[in-house]
Structure 1
Amino acid sequence: MLEPKTLLEAYHSASIQLAGHGKRDVEVLKHAFADINGSIASDMYGSGEVIEDFQAEMAGVLGKESAVFYPSGTMAQQIALRIWSDRKGLKTVAYHPLCHLEIHEQDGLKELHHIKPILLADKDRLITLDDVRSIGEDIACLLLELPQREIGGQLPEYAELEAISAYCREQGIILHLDGARLFEVLPYYGKTAAEVCALFDSVYVSLYKGIGGIAGAILAGSEDFTEESKIWKRRHGGDLISLYPYILPAQHYFRQRAGLMGRYYEEAKELAELFNGCGKVSTLPKVPVSNMFHVHFALSKAVMEPVLIRLSDQTGVGLAARLKETGPDACSYELSIGDLYGGIPKDKLKETFELLDRLLGEV
């Protein structure tokens, strides 16, 4: 007798997935290198045309003097906060309770750099100007994440962002941007990357999330800041002998997808409306502000997984690979729109969500 199919197995066996750009297999690398001249010289320990040209390109996009390519955003952001803390002579920074540094990095900032974070705002809402004004002690740096991933990718209104930036400059507080998904929020703000980054002293962006590269990140800021960051990059072991297997795909997919974020954003709003049209389903935000949002089911994970497996078997559409239990009768998952969604026939989407609504009405 066959073992019951898991949700992950059902998702991967489905002929259609709603989210992302497709499987992250070796084809991603092969496609990126398909048109690259094999005689291009590799970078060596952070130097060379292949890395320096891309860093200059990204500095220009972000409107900063200089940029450095890192193998990971975890490394880049810890280094940024270390530099600002050292310069200010303060081992205290502030960020959201669900900041990546706080919940996903095994306390790297505290253990490696002995920096103490102040957690601003309640975990279920965004940091506001009032929160920043109410900090009861001196801080070297404030980190803002745009969008705030763990609460559905919510964003402050741009006027609030400008007000926080102005206040930090008045008070001598360094403002750092966790812009892992910066390019994904530009359509909502109606701003360029450089316009948003002008509000911040330093900026990190991911090159594998919405962009879809293999791995890697950019840390950008003033020339003296990035030069100091290169020293810390070496100390962290981030100067691999060559990073071109990450840089060239990052450049390829950045050029391919940065201009598509507006399409992904509109498609995310369309998809969220389909989810919200089903009983026992809601999205956070209700109307997405980027290509990413969270889907919440008013049913337990144990009840919801068989529903999604059945849906996948009957329609060939995979909605979710895994669910997160969020309460006795509640679960959720994160969804980001990429290249795949635009190729799904509208009648297939209609059929899928009509069946989802019907199945949810039966449980």
Structure 2
Amino acid sequence: MELSKKLREAYKACAHQVPGNGPRNIGVLKQAFAEIDAGLESDTYGKGPVIEDFENKMAGVLGKEKAVFFPSGTMAQQIAMRIWCDELSLHKVAYHPLCHLEIHEEDGLKKLHRIESVLLADKNRLITLADVQELGSDVACLLLELPQREIGGELPEFDELVAISDYCREEGIKLHMDGARLFEVLPYYQKTAAEVCQLFDSVYISLYKGVGGIAGAILAGSEPFAKEAFIWKRRHGGDLISLYPYILSADYSFEKRRDRFPAYLNGARELAAMYNGCHGVRTRPLVPVSNMFHVHFPLPKEKIEPVFLAVVEETGVGLTAVVYAVDEESSYFEISIGDNYGTIPKEKLQQAFSLLDEKMEVTLR
């Protein structure tokens, strides 16, 4: 059997999976629906109490006038860019070279909306105020991702965000937040979601990442922005006849986890310290600023996969299901801390990391 597949299957079958909130199976939906009145009416094409009440609730959490539920973040963010470009009659936006719109959406922004992208900063670092100032006012919108996932979940300091926000408003540039992991960064900033979102003209949040719902997203902003977003969602076919399974699971999961994000950050920092204590292993960031980080190795994935396969087979602790190649000489994987981490006995973690350290020391020789 292929080594990568063996690692995935061993991880799936192990007793203790370190990252995540648990299995994504039908049981998640059954839990969300367990206490729902069976007579509750579903939403219909984006209307009805089920969807409208949830949208209003999330608008309040984010400190925005209105919010619109979307089946996907990809749809929501492309639409946000289109709204701002149309408003300013300027079909050009700026974002990080490793932005989701640039590398994961098959050029959807360009092909569907004819919007040109300007890539800011080197791909290995965060966008800074200096980068934004070099733009002038030649773009309709600047998109900032909090945290910047593809470089390990790094995050600008809050003062830097304030400075970028002030500059964009002075220059008439709309500022949009890719807040797929917004709730995960709030413990680091020591701010509420509304306090962070007030710096932005529009905000997207994911409802299935740290929140742990089945799928879905929220796009929030002013009343006029939300009205346009609703129309564009209809144009994109995003108004399914009913979206209530996603909405009810998102609401259930949000209430279940909204107070757990500080614990997730503490868990990520504890786990990163254990990784950094092993031979040849380094995390990015060295000290996590959210519940996610990357784990890097100075060896190709073909030499790292057997190490993690041995750890899971010998200890029952699954540290990762997959290892990615950076190049022919290095590799990495991403980890996000959720509910699972707090359920693993500390002695089992210590056993797993002791074995990881031993295996890495031997592998590096």
How many Å apart are 1:327 and its aligned residue?
2.1
Matched, 1:53 2:41: no
List runs of 5+ in structure 1 lacking aligned partners. Answer: none
TM-score by length of 2: 0.98
Aligned to 2:211: 211
**Counterpart amino acid of residue 156 in structure 1:** P
Between the aligned partners of 1:327 and 1:235, the Cα distance in structure 2 is 41
Between the aligned partners of 1:31 and 1:171, the Cα distance in structure 2 is 48
| More moved, 212-221 vs 132-141 | 132-141
**Counterpart amino acid of residue 277 in structure 1:** G
Aligned to 1:341: 341
**Counterpart amino acid of residue 51 in structure 1:** I
Q: 3-state DSSP class of the match of 2:347?
A: helix
TM-score by length of 1: 0.98
1:8-19 equivalences under 5 Å are: 8-19=8-19
Aligned to 2:287: 287
1:1-150 equivalences under 5 Å are: 6-135=6-135, 138-150=138-150
List runs of 5+ in structure 2 lacking aligned partners. Answer: none
How many Å apart are 1:328 and its aligned residue?
2.1
Aligned to 2:193: 193
How many Å apart are 1:136 and its aligned residue?
5.6
Note if contact 2:137-2:173 (Cα within 8 Å) is conserved in structure 1. Answer: no
Note if contact 2:301-2:325 (Cα within 8 Å) is conserved in structure 1. Answer: yes
Post-superposition Cα deviations, 1:253-276, rounded to whole Å, max 9, x if no partner, equal 001111100000001000000000
Between the aligned partners of 1:82 and 1:3, the Cα distance in structure 2 is 44
Between the aligned partners of 1:136 and 1:53, the Cα distance in structure 2 is 40
**Counterpart amino acid of residue 339 in structure 1:** D
**Counterpart amino acid of residue 213 in structure 2:** G
Between the aligned partners of 1:328 and 1:246, the Cα distance in structure 2 is 41
Post-superposition Cα deviations, 1:86-115, rounded to whole Å, max 9, x if no partner, equal 000001000000000000000000000000
Could you say if the C-alpha distance between residues 134 and 72 of structure 1 is closer, same or farther in structure 2, counting changes exceeding 3 Å? same
Aligned to 1:315: 315
Q: 3-state DSSP class of the match of 2:250?
A: helix
1:250-329 equivalences under 5 Å are: 250-329=250-329
Matched, 1:353 2:353: yes
**Counterpart amino acid of residue 327 in structure 1:** D
Equivalent residue pairs, number: 362
Q: 3-state DSSP class of the match of 1:93?
A: strand
Aligned to 2:248: 248
> Could you tell me the percent identity over the aligned residues?
64
Between the aligned partners of 1:122 and 1:54, the Cα distance in structure 2 is 38
How many Å apart are 1:10 and its aligned residue?
1.4
Q: 3-state DSSP class of the match of 1:322?
A: coil
| More moved, 316-325 vs 56-65 | 316-325
Note if contact 2:51-2:244 (Cα within 8 Å) is conserved in structure 1. Answer: yes
How many Å apart are 1:347 and its aligned residue?
0.9
Between the aligned partners of 1:362 and 1:145, the Cα distance in structure 2 is 39
Aligned to 2:171: 171
**Counterpart amino acid of residue 165 in structure 1:** S
How many Å apart are 1:137 and its aligned residue?
5.9
Between the aligned partners of 2:117 and 2:32, the Cα distance in structure 1 is 39
**Counterpart amino acid of residue 147 in structure 1:** P
Note if contact 2:91-2:114 (Cα within 8 Å) is conserved in structure 1. Answer: yes
Post-superposition Cα deviations, 1:110-158, rounded to whole Å, max 9, x if no partner, equal 0000000000000000000000001266100000000000000000000
Between the aligned partners of 1:302 and 1:6, the Cα distance in structure 2 is 12
Between the aligned partners of 1:311 and 1:202, the Cα distance in structure 2 is 44
Q: 3-state DSSP class of the match of 1:204?
A: strand
Aligned to 1:156: 156
Could you say if the C-alpha distance between residues 145 and 57 of structure 1 is closer, same or farther in structure 2, counting changes exceeding 3 Å? same
